[in-house]
Chains A and B, each alone.
Chain A
């Protein structure tokens, strides 16, 4: 209530999970905090359970992630484009994120392979 920033609720879907969740991005201060929250929300739906751990801070290893069966966080921005989470500074992300999707790495390959 004391916060001056308006809430920023966005839907979060995860491939394979039975339902979506909603999070208020304004309650998190960094990608790491968001990552931890999403792990708690969706960890029980992953095959092994720990595939979501710190998946955002491991962003540098994206190409490796995509080769395995791990999950990749993506978001729909203001322009309606689906982008990889983690490239822009946190504040910019909060202001432009309209929806989150935790995608299976195997599905996301096409998104990233064009970078190389």
Chain B
């Protein structure tokens, strides 16, 4: 397995279907709570990203191996070195993506 070395810090894109994209410098934040709050404010989703189990909205990111991962599993320091872009998934997008995934399998 090969690992692509992350480039020098640039701004990270944050995208949500139907909204204009934003760019953030993830190193400005100290932890996941600060990051999620800032992103929630940018997209008018206050309070909906910090309770992922309850609300159904998911914050995912693409890393330098091009895998799509849930934001929050890695230690913060690890996350900022491997995040390439961030995407906000609505509850219906999550459902649609897992159904499409299952259909591909069948």
Which DSSP category, helix, strand, loop or mixed, fits chain B's interface? mixed
Report whether A22 and B68 are in contact in the complex, using a CB–CB cutoff of 8 Å. no
Report whether A18 and B68 are in contact in the complex, using a CB–CB cutoff of 8 Å. yes
Report whether A18 and B94 are in contact in the complex, using a CB–CB cutoff of 8 Å. yes
Instruction: Count B-side interface residues using an 8 Å CB cutoff.
Output: 20
Query: Which of B60, B67, B89 is close to A11, meaning CB atoms less than 8 Å apart?
Result: B67
Q: Complex: how many Å from CA A15 to CA B93?
A: 17
A9 CB–B CB distance under 8 Å: yes
Task: Report the minimal beta-carbon distance from A23 to chain B, rounded to whole angstroms.
Answer: 7
Residue of A nearest to B104 (CB): A16
Report whether A16 and B1 are in contact in the complex, using a CB–CB cutoff of 8 Å. no
Query: Which of A16, A19, A80 is close to B68, meaning CB atoms less than 8 Å apart?
Result: A19
* Residues of chain A within 8 A of B78, CB atoms compared: 9
Q: Complex: how many Å from CA A76 to CA B98?
A: 23
User: Which of B10-18, B27-35, B36-44, B69-77 touches A?
Assistant: B69-77
B45 CB–A CB distance under 8 Å: no
Report whether B68 and A20 are in contact in the complex, using a CB–CB cutoff of 8 Å. yes
Task: Report the minimal beta-carbon distance from B97 to chain A, rounded to whole angstroms.
Answer: 3
Report whether A80 and B105 are in contact in the complex, using a CB–CB cutoff of 8 Å. no
Report whether A16 and B70 are in contact in the complex, using a CB–CB cutoff of 8 Å. no
Task: Report the minimal beta-carbon distance from A65 to chain B, rounded to whole angstroms.
Answer: 15
State which residues 16-32 of A face B: CB under 8 Å. Answer: 16-23
Enumerate chain A interface residues (CB-CB to B < 8 A). 7, 9, 11, 13, 15-23, 45, 47, 76, 80, 98, 104, 106-107
Enumerate chain B interface residues (CB-CB to A < 8 A). 1, 58, 60, 67-70, 73-75, 78, 89, 93-94, 97-98, 101-102, 104-105
